[in-house]
Amino acid sequence: MDNLLMLGPLLRFVDETSASVWVETGVAGVVVVRAGDREWDARTFSIHGHHYALVEIGGLEPGATLPYTVHIGNKQVWPEEGSPFPPSTIRTVDPERPFRLAFGSCRTSEANDLAAHKTHGVDSLLAFALDLASRDGSPQPDLIAFLGDQVYADIPSNEMLQLIRDDRGITTKLDAELRNYEEYTQIYRLAWSNPAIRWLLSTLPSAMIFDDHDIRDDWNSSLLWKRKVESIPWWKDRIVSGLASYWVYQHLGNLSPADRADDEIWQAIVSHRGPGELELSPVLEALVEEADRDPERYRWSFCRNFGDVRLIVLDSRAARVLEPGKREMLDGKELQWLDERMQGDRRHLLVATSLPFLLPRGLHHIEEWNAVLADGRWGERVAAVGERIRQAIDLEHWAAFPSTFRAVAAMATEVAQGRRGKAPETVTFLSGDVHFSYIEEVDQPMQSRVLQAVCSPIRNPLRPALRWVAALMSTRVAGPVGGMLAKFIPHPPFHWSTLKSPWFDNNLASLEVTPEGLNLRWDTGVVDDKDHSAPKLREVTSITIEPRAAKTP
């Protein structure tokens, strides 16, 4: 890898007339992006000795495809000389073009060889990248959405563990977790440096949201969880470094030009007029430390429109209110923000949130019952038992925050009933996290079909024993047990059932708006001819969600 260009370029926010290109560089300076006879530039800023730039590109035509190059100083650093991949391009949004989206979550950064494939399976993102590169000129997604756990700060890969051993040693289990900003920079490089992945991220716009492992398993599951981790001596460095690095590597590129104009951190960058490079660390770290204490301090969610499709990407981790008796998945400002954007008058409304909004119903009832238990309805001793169960088996999805679940379900229902503008064909929740994939659908008759589509993992499969447990809990056991427990809690605002039962492949999902309806497809990576470094893409399953008017009575 060129020591001038440490990581990237990543093509991030793209709309009809603008784009943004993110890079990490090895030196301070000016980064230039050239496309055709035009160029755009940005000065680098630094965080703990690492240099970054986000180049804002404007004045483009809708539906244009522009090959681009990246330069630092007088040297072209991208594409790399002799690259086997097609030119990296900026493809602006065409509102008339059918919308295509790829999505998934949970990807470990292990090697691509026989040994790693035996333990972690084939990297579906790598297979997707190689497949896309091989069919240059074919339709490609308008966006790829990574719905959490791009990096595993608490369960690092073998290569990351070796870097930690070499730097500070590992004598306890806690020593094997990331501690500081420097280690976060290394884990992102491991995640994004494979040549095919690097090319993919340079040519396909991306949107990203965190989940727990970007920080730590069960992040913000409860107030007791938070107090427990805050007793770890290095936790403050961990949470500040995790959120600061997330802002730099993931969140900044999510922002539209208008969002960046309103973002106080970005304004500190663009308003810097000093002779040297801006050292952003004090400003950024102060903000994320405040945001960890007060979820209303900063918003990580964002919203995008693609012609007649709206995509809302929702934070279901940092926006939580954890006070017992007042637990909410979304704080008041976040819930209001979502309420304002949950509107019809478009063909599809997509809500992407790392945690599944609709679990299989039995699991939903178990989580909601546990939330009531842990909240103290039947006394402190029973609440303590409920809390231990919650942390032991990860009962902290939307169902574990019943009032927020009902509020968002009411919004989705109003959209689907045509009470917030013309009803879309679908209101579709897109999620990951659970390490199995499935589709659920709300049974209540409405103008829109309301769905939950889950794609997890991209690369981090459940062990066979846990697959059996997950399958059993999703169907045979959780159904009757959840039904029994449902007698002790208020009924959800609607009923839903399984459209496609759970499957456990490493996979990446794609979504395409077609004349027939919303086409959903899941693909996995497979090794042919023993070439473990170049997996092929193979379909796992697909389904077309037809609009209600098109369904046969």
pLDDT digits (tens, 9 = 90+) for 381-393: 877 887 888 888 7
Ramachandran quadrant class, 437 (left: phi over 0; alpha: psi -120 to 50; beta: rest): beta
Q: Can you tell me the mean pLDDT for 162-171? A: 96
Confidence check: pLDDT of 487 > 70 = no
| Structure confidence at residue 268 (pLDDT) | 96
Please state, rounded to an integer, the average pLDDT across all residues of the chain: 93
Mean pLDDT of 445-474: 86
Residue 154 DSSP label: S
Kindly indicate the confidence band of residue 482, based on its pLDDT and cuts at 50, 70 and 90.
low
pLDDT of residue 488: 60
Tell me how far apart the terminal alpha carbons of the chain are, to the nearest angstrom. 59
State whether the Cα torsion 57-266-194-112 is positive or negative: negative
Q: What is the pTM of this model?
A: 0.95
Confidence band, pLDDT 50/70/90 cuts, at residue 530: confident
What pLDDT score does 486 carry? Answer: 53
Q: Residue 107 and residue 50: Cα distance in Å, rounded? A: 24
Q: Is the peptide bond before 547 cis (omega within 30 degrees of 0)?
A: no
Tokens for 63, please give them.
């539906």
Alpha-carbon distance of 544 to 445, in angstroms, equals 19
Dihedral in degrees, nearest 10, Cα atoms 333, 335, 337, 338 = 170
**Sign (positive/negative) of CA torsion 270, 274, 278, 282?**
negative
Q: For residues 390 and 392, what is the distance between their CA atoms, to the nearest angstrom? A: 6
The two counts, helices (H) then strands (E), for the chain are 16, 24
pLDDT in tens, 174-214: 999 999 999 999 999 999 999 999 999 999 999 999 999 99
Pull the structure tokens for residue 192: 């994004």
**8 A C-beta contact, residue 243 and residue 215:** yes
| Residue ranges per structural domain of the chain | 300-552
Give the SS3 label for residue 466: helix
Q: Look at residue 365 and tell me whether its pLDDT is greater than 90.
A: no
The predicted pLDDT at position 550 comes to 47
Count the alpha carbons within 13 Å of 314 in the hemisphere toward its beta carbon. Answer: 30
- CATH topology assigned to domain 300-552: Purple Acid Phosphatase; chain A, domain 2 (3.60.21)
Q: In what order do the strands lie in the sheet with 496-503?
A: 302-306, 309-314, 348-353, 426-431, 449-454, 437-442, 496-503
Residue 442, H or E segment:
strand 437-442
d(CA 414, CA 407): 11
Q: What band does 465 get if pLDDT is binned at 50, 70 and 90? A: confident
Query: Please, are residues 365 and 489 in contact by the beta-carbon 8 Å criterion?
Result: yes
Q: Are strands 206-209 and 38-43 parallel, antiparallel or unpaired?
A: unpaired
| Residues linked to residue 511 through DSSP beta bridges, in sequence order | 101, 520
**C-alpha pair distances (Å), 249 with each of 192, 214, 237, 281:** 11, 12, 17, 14
Directed axis angle between helix 195-203 and helix 124-134, to 10°? Answer: 70
Cα–Cα dist 526/474, whole Å: 27
For residue range 211-225, list pLDDT tens digits in order: 999 999 999 999 999
pLDDT confidence of residue 86: 95
The CA distance from 34 to 40, in Å, is 7
Q: What count of residues does the chain have?
A: 553
> What pLDDT, on a 0 to 100 scale, did the predictor assign at position 545?
97
Q: Per-residue pLDDT tens for 411-439?
A: 999 999 999 999 999 999 999 999 999 99
Compute the distance between CA of residue 164 and CA of residue 186 in angstroms, rounded to an integer.
10
CB 121 within 8 A of CB 506: yes
How many alpha carbons lie under 13 Å from residue 456 in its C-beta half-sphere? 27
Tokens of 100: 């295509």
* Res 275: pLDDT: 87
Rounded Cα–Cα distance for residues 467 and 505 (Å): 10
Percent of the chain with pLDDT over 70: 94
Dist. CA 455–CA 540, nearest whole Å = 11
- Radius of gyration of the chain from its Cα atoms, rounded to whole angstroms: 23
Average pLDDT on 345-374 reads 91
- Indicate the SS3 state at residue 121: coil
pLDDT score, position 378: 66
Nearest to 524 by CA among 534, 510, 539, 514: 539
8 Å CB contact between 69 and 76: yes
Highest-pLDDT range among 245-249, 323-327, 357-361, 545-549: 245-249
pLDDT at 454 over 50: yes
CA-wise closest residue to 148 among 318, 293, 26, 12: 318
pLDDT band at 483 (very low <50, low <70, confident <90, very high): low
Of 338, 518, 342, 346, give the one whose Cα is nearest residue 439.
518
When pLDDT is cut at 50, 70 and 90, the band that residue 234 belongs to is very high
What local confidence, expressed as pLDDT, does residue 473 receive? Answer: 64
C-alpha to C-alpha distance for 366 and 400, rounded to whole angstroms: 9
Residue 301: name the closest of 278, 285, 320 by CA.
Answer: 320
Taking residues 298-315, what's their average pLDDT?
98
